[in-house]
Amino acid sequence: MHGQDEEMIRRVAQRWEQAWNAHDMSAMAALLADDADFVNVWGMHWRGRDEIEREHANRHRTQFKDSVWKTGELRVQFLKPDVALVHLGWGMAAGRDPDGAPRKPRQGLFTWIMLKEQGTWRIRAGHNTNVSAPPSA
Amino acid sequence: MHGQDEEMIRRVAQRWEQAWNAHDMSAMAALLADDADFVNVWGMHWRGRDEIEREHANRHRTQFKDSVWKTGELRVQFLKPDVALVHLGWGMAAGRDPDGAPRKPRQGLFTWIMLKEQGTWRIRAGHNTNVSAPPSA
């Protein structure tokens, strides 16, 4: 039975949303493992909590300054008692392009690999993708 | 020491490339866990080996019919002796859009979560992204 662990993981997702919307990247980074890997929607690969925090903080000073994150469907599967595979649907409003132009609201899908260490679940790997229509589909 | 396991994982990546380029989706599906999750570059989420095989086979009859996959950098990290986090860079040439229009060569980055069960490493979760430039960056 993984009920309590799933609840802990759902709280991490809530705290991600809260940290994003407060633009508090230090609170967001606290949800990551030290050696976390992060692949963003453009296929940029950041390695380690410090780099992930810094890259997000840069964007939250500019394009994500007013952005609002909303977590949607969350699906948690346990690969081991202390390893979880998480799929997290999300929406974002009020984002901007790097040149400041308003960006339409968009939706995405995150894969997280989470590890439980010393009683705490943290994100060891994240991979994020915008949900969009294939060309000409 | 994970040398032998890493070698086995590298062979899975080689077999992925071979199966793709032979357009043999049954050989590709043999690399997946029964209950695999797969998120493609458009954020479509396919669940289970059968669905992943079917969706790929559909595309290999059309837009991927002549496509050529080339695996690039492969990075393997062991989260447990039998759980591996894999980042796999790739390139694709000779793909087409769903309407048949030739698509430019593109590059991408795959995250795989692999599990070793009964001596065999299989892909339990895949998440794929095209590497591209952010708008106006």
Distance from CA of B121 to the nearest CA of A (A): 14
pLDDT number for residue A134: 82
Q: A102, A63 in Cβ contact below 8 A?
A: no
ipTM here: 0.94
What is the structure's pLDDT at A16? 98
Q: What are the backbone angles phi and psi of residue A74, rounded to the nearest 5°?
A: -125, 130
pLDDT in tens, B59-114: 999 899 999 999 999 999 999 999 999 999 999 998 988 778 898 999 999 999 99
Look at residue B35 and tell me whether its pLDDT is greater than 90: yes
Q: In chain B, which residues have their Cβ closer than 8 Å to the Cβ of A127?
A: 39, 111, 127, 129
Residue A111 has pLDDT above 60, yes or no: yes
The residues in B 49-78 lying below 8 A from A, measured between CB atoms, are 77
Instruction: Specify the pLDDT at position A1.
Output: 61
pLDDT of residue B53: 98
What DSSP string describes A99-118? TS-B---EEEEEEEEEEEET
A58-110: pLDDT as tens digits: 999 999 999 999 999 999 999 999 999 999 999 999 898 877 889 899 999 99
Check if B107 contacts A (Cβ < 8 Å): yes
Check CB contact of B96 with chain A, cutoff 8 Å: no
Answer yes or no: is pLDDT of A123 > 70. Answer: yes
Please calculate the CA angle B78-B80-B85 and round it to the nearest 5 degrees: 40
Q: Which residues lie below 8 Å from residue B27, measured CB to CB, with a gap of 6+?
A: B15, B18, B19
pLDDT for res A70: 97
* Listed residue (B9, B1, B16) closest to B75, CA to CA: B9
Partners of residue A68 on adjacent β-strands: A93
Please state, in angstroms and rounded to a whole number, the distance separating the CA atoms of residues B7 and B27: 19
Does residue A137 register a pLDDT over 60? no
Is the Cβ of A125 closer than 8 Å to some Cβ of chain B?
A: yes
